Amino acid sequence: MFMVALDNLVVSTALRTSAAEFQADTTDLQWFVNAYVLSFACLLLTGAALGDRFGRRRLFVLGIAAFTLASLACAFADTSGELIAGRAAQGVGAAAVMPLSLTLLAQAVPDRLRSLALGLWSAVSGLAVALDRSWAARSPTASVGSGSSGSTCPWRPWTAPPAFWQTAEFRLE
């Protein structure tokens, strides 16, 4: 769940670098961000409904697998189109992971501890948003700001630690 929330914002931190690396125009840069957000938002309720129909845990695991494979596709994308397709696929996986993580948590925790567990779930999501900007501020090549003001934070897996390698590490545990 942490990576789903972080991945929503981390690419906006790298838009300037992405523009140079992919020779992307403004439309491509918008799609780098929006492909994830649109697929995630449009399929959020569908992911929850499919989890109810086919099994929450099963669909949650499939969502994690889809998100991880899409992260690999993004990491090794050579063209703007490949990156956009990978980001859209990440959104599909995230649309299963986010709602089902909450329902699985609510199902697994006793009633007396449920409010604490849901509060921690929300805090982890908020932490992902905060850490995205915090990491950008500490990076020697980043300038803090939204994608519209332009950042120079590299995000390819071999040059920057955040999204890809943390996703891979989380999935292996």
- In this model, does residue 132 exceed pLDDT 50? yes
Q: What is the pLDDT of residue 169?
A: 40
Domain range enclosing 25: 2-172
Q: How far is CA 119 from CA 115, 123, 151, in A?
A: 6, 6, 32
Nearest 5°: phi and psi at 154?
-70, 145
pLDDT tens column, 9-58:
778 778 888 888 899 999 999 999 999 999 999 999 999 999 999 999 99
- In this model, does residue 111 exceed pLDDT 70? yes
> d(Cα 2, Cα 76) in Å, to the nearest integer?
22
- CA angle, residues 132, 4, 118, in degrees to nearest 5: 100
Domain at 116, CATH number: 1.20.1250.20
- In this model, does residue 122 exceed pLDDT 80? no
Which of 16-20, 75-79, 121-125, 130-134 is least confident?
A: 130-134
Choice between 88 and 170, residue whose per-residue pLDDT is larger: 88
Which of 31-40, 69-78, 108-117 is least confident?
A: 108-117
The answer to pTM > 0.75 is no
Cβ-contact 170, 3 below 8 angstroms: yes
Q: How many domains does the chain have?
A: 1
Instruction: Provide mean pLDDT across the span 115-143.
Output: 64
